[in-house]
Amino acid sequence: MHRRRIWRDGRPEIRSTQIDDVAFLTALLDQVEKDYAVDPKRVYVTGFSGGARVASGMGLASRDQVTGVAAFGAGLPNGARLPKEAGVLFFAGAGLDDFNLPEMRQLAADLDAAAIPNRLEIWDQASWEQYSEQQEQHFADLSEEILPGIL
């Protein structure tokens, strides 16, 4: 029998208590920090869609290990609340036609209200079918341009 390998990103159908992505990622980061020289002020997590929710959850839960989050196409895990002292930077992106754009705009407003450094980048092409290598390069270019500026 094949087991599905999925992230627990807050969707109702994946609310199993047996899955703890943050614990897994925290343990992974702990091991990387043991094996390599890691500058704790330069640890970022990123994801797209459900992966963005996992990255945001990791950033909020592991504030002592994560400096910033780059979330594209989705924000916080479903049902998550922004803590008063998030302590992480947020860089987010979504397309004009992305069904999660209203959520991303609300997250940016909530981050602004909490005085948490953030930036929401919105681009023209947004449907899932239109993501391409060009958009991936756009994400990379924006990350290089923006993340140092909000540090």
| Span 39-55, pLDDT tens digits | 888 888 888 888 888 88
Fold category of 12-150 in CATH = Rossmann fold (3.40.50)
- Residue of 104, 107, 78 whose CA lies nearest to 9: 78
What pLDDT score does 2 carry? Answer: 47
The helix-helix angle for 50-61 and 21-35 (nearest 10°) equals 70
- Determine which of 7-11, 57-61, 120-124, 130-134 has the lowest per-residue pLDDT on average: 130-134
What pLDDT score does 149 carry? Answer: 57
What pLDDT score does 105 carry? Answer: 93
Q: How confident is the model at residue 35 (pLDDT cuts 50, 70, 90)?
A: very high
Given a contact cutoff of 8 angstroms between Cβ atoms, the answer to whether 77 and 33 are in contact is no
Given a contact cutoff of 8 angstroms between Cβ atoms, the answer to whether 127 and 97 are in contact is yes
Given a contact cutoff of 8 angstroms between Cβ atoms, the answer to whether 55 and 79 are in contact is no
Q: Which residues contact 67 (CB under 8 A, 6 or more apart)?
A: 40, 41, 42, 43, 44, 88, 89, 151
Measured distance CA(47)–CA(139) in Å, rounded: 11
